[in-house]
């Protein structure tokens, strides 16, 4: 059972961690240089995934996007990260921090984004695996092609965030 103030403490610690990482990296502009070039043809907007979702649904989608990418690193690319690499929450939170910084720098977030609300919503589920079957049960079809038919895809969103897909990565 969660103790009173535990979620608030988690949010505060993660907010401070995010801010210290931003300072250490210089600022999010450095990351923007890495991730901002994705889809330079102008055919898609990096934040298009959030259109039509409430702020709560946006946060939930992005948490699930992160969790799906962790699943894909392990099951598709044979590169375990986060909770697939270690049972220690620190591993997963470090991966989440990288994901958050890339989101911030890559213009993937809606203008009204609230990091504290995101971390609060992520806290109960971020350490829980999220498979393709989970995504299909929750959202229907999970297929990158959905984006080209007016839908959205967790994997496509992750590809925008990370500027790469795990599809085609060889399993060793």
> C-alpha angle 66/68/71, rounded to 5°?
115
Residue 85 within any structural domain of the chain: yes
Number of domains in the chain: 1
Residue 152 within any structural domain of the chain: yes
CA 21: distance to chain centroid?
17
Residue 1 within any structural domain of the chain: no
Closest to 141 in 3D by CA, of 129, 153, 157, 158: 153
Residue 41 within any structural domain of the chain: no
CA 24: distance to chain centroid?
21
Residue 106 within any structural domain of the chain: yes
- Residue 83's pLDDT is 85
Residue 74 within any structural domain of the chain: yes
pLDDT tens string 36-84: 333 334 446 788 899 899 999 999 999 999 999 999 999 888 888 888 8
Q: What is the pTM of this model?
A: 0.72
Residue 42 within any structural domain of the chain: no
Residue 168 within any structural domain of the chain: no
Range of the domain at 79: 6-33+49-162
Written as tens digits, the pLDDT of the chain (172 aa) is 445 555 556 556 655 655 555 554 444 333 333 333 333 344 467 888 998 999 999 999 999 999 999 999 998 888 888 888 888 898 999 999 999 999 998 889 999 999 999 999 999 999 999 999 999 999 987 777 666 666 788 998 998 899 888 776 555 4
């Amino acid at each position: 059972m969660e103790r009173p103030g535990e979620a608030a403490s988690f949010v505060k610690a993660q907010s401070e961690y995010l801010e210290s990482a931003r300072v250490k990296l210089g600022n999010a502009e450095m990351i923007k240089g890495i991730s901002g070039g994705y889809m330079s043809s102008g055919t898609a907007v990096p934040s298009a995934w959030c259109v039509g979702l409430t702020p709560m649904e946006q946060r939930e989608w992005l948490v699930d996007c992160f969790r799906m990418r962790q699943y894909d690193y392990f099951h598709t690319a044979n590169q375990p990260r986060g909770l697939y690499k270690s049972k220690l929450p620190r591993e997963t939170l470090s991966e989440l921090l990288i994901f958050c910084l890339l989101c911030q720098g890559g213009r993937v977030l809606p203008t009204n984004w609230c990091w504290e609300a995101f971390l609060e919503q992520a806290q109960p589920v971020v350490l829980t695996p999220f498979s393709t079957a989970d995504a299909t049960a929750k959202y229907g079809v999970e297929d990158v092609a959905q984006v080209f038919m007016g839908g959205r895809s967790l994997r496509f969103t992750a590809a925008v965030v990370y500027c790469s897909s795990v599809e085609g990565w060889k399993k060793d």
